[in-house]
Amino acid sequence: MQRVGFILKVKQDRLEEYKRRHTEVWPEMLQALTETGWHNYSLFMREDGLLFGYLETPDFERAKAEMARRDVNARWQAEMAPFFESLTGRPDEAMMPLEEVFHLD
């Protein structure tokens, strides 16, 4: 299982709405994530909007590609894009994996 961490930056004036939206993730989006191999997917955010995401998947590039083919993902990404700083394109396209430097088994 591949462990993936990534960071993005949520705009300061959109933090509360971003958090609220993630308490109401569409059921079809949750189903698509599960079906395409996104496991233990979590988002953590600092007060300044720095967002750390973590997930486990057999193949991150494949999981992203399979989600990219889903209509629900296109709709979700379009709605989420305005929440982020320094973003060109969709938020899921900006998820660049961080290098894992330690893992305690």
The residues assigned a catalytic role are: 22
> Which tokens go with 32?
């698509």
How far is residue 79's CA from residue 95's CA, in Å, rounded to a whole number?
16
Neighbours of 103 (CB within 10 A): 6
Neighbours of 45 (CB within 10 A): 17
Give 82-103 as a 3 state SS string.
HHECCCCCCHHHHCCCCCCCCC
